[in-house]
Amino acid sequence: MTKVKRGLKVAAAGLIPLLLIGGIFPDGVSAEVLKVSGTGGSIGGIRLLADAFRKANPGVEMVIPKSMGSSGGIRAALAGKLDIGISARPLNAEECARGGRETPYARTAFVFAVNPGVKESGITLSQAVDIYNGKILRWRSGTPLRLVLRPAADSDNETLKKMSPRMAEAVEQALGREGLPLAMTDQDCADAIERTPGAFGAMTLALVVSEKKDIKVLSLSGVKPSNRTVRDGSYPYTKTFYLVTGPNPSPIAERFIRFVGSPEGMSVLARVGHVALP
């Protein structure tokens, strides 16, 4: 090989990563990069939306880091580290004052779930309270009940507390008990329940369905959580998901937000435990 050919080969090899880093495809099409993350309860649905959005928008590259929680997603969006943060709670006054913008896009059932080896298929709200306050420590089969908790400030705890005054008190008691497993993210919680015999915890139906978790979702007071029972109000416990941006969202972020709310986007979400907002 001549020195000229060798030089051209080396130069070409060095050019390829520069093109990729610069977001340029070989055919000269500029790649638009959209970074989205936040609450783990919605990550599975967002990944499916991303696949559909990419097909409808050639040249778009979507980056979806692992779950960082609602507050983490909001902070990253306001700091410009994410184009869109996903939250399971509305913005607070401070976040709004910093220019945060929120778009509620779907609801999902907030459910109690167990390891698939647990024989029960349903519980009452009163039984759920007694699980959190420590009065129920075993399943009827005699298997130890292993309650999986979330960090004190997590939005799941706020949703639990809104179920009833007794549940609010029970959650506080559970957080003060020693030796209970603490799952830092929604995915950690689902994984712990999936692999731990007798495990019990709370999460969104959207996570279970979109990520195809081997987890048993319990009926609550005789009502099975589903899109239908959320829509008709017979299952009243839900979480709302929000898309959050800073004060000046990028054009690609605004396009994605419109896509999520479109009939196509809502059709994708309906298949994985999400209910469109009225």
The secondary structure of 137-155 as a DSSP string is -B-TTSPBPEEPB--TT-H
Q: How many residues does this entry show for the chain?
A: 278
Mean pLDDT, rounded, for 255-264:
96
pLDDT at position 15 over 60: no
Residues facing 245 on adjacent strands: 101
Longest alpha-carbon distance in the chain: 82
Mean pLDDT of the chain: 90
Each residue's pLDDT tens digit, 199-221:
999 999 999 999 999 999 999 99
With pLDDT > 70 as the criterion, what percentage of the chain qualifies? 89
Instruction: Look at residue 31 in the predicted model and tell me its pLDDT.
Output: 72
d(CA 19, CA 27): 11
Residue 19 banded pLDDT, cuts 50, 70, 90: very low
pLDDT of residue 39: 94
Q: Domains in the chain and their CATH numbers?
A: 31-107+239-276 (3.40.190.10), 108-238 (3.40.190.10)
- Say if residue 20's pLDDT is above 50: no
Kindly report, residue by residue over 55-86, the tens digit of the pLDDT.
999 889 999 998 999 999 999 999 999 999 99
Report whether pLDDT(17) > 80: no
Amino acid of residue 173: Q
Q: Which one is predicted more confidently, 20 or 89?
A: 89
Q: Is it the case that residue 24 has pLDDT exceeding 70?
A: no
Return the pLDDT at 2.
43
CA distance 114 to 218: 7
The pLDDT, as a whole number, for residue 141 is 93
**Distance, CA of 125 to CA of 76 (rounded, Å):** 36
pLDDT of residue 30: 54
pLDDT at position 126 over 70: yes
Residue 239, Cα to own-chain centre: how many angstroms?
Answer: 11
The pLDDT of 3-18, averaged and rounded, is 38
Lowest mean pLDDT among 8-17, 235-244, 260-269: 8-17
Cα separation, 62 vs 51, in Å, equals 9
The per-residue pLDDT for range 152-167, each reduced to its tens digit, is 999 999 999 999 999 9
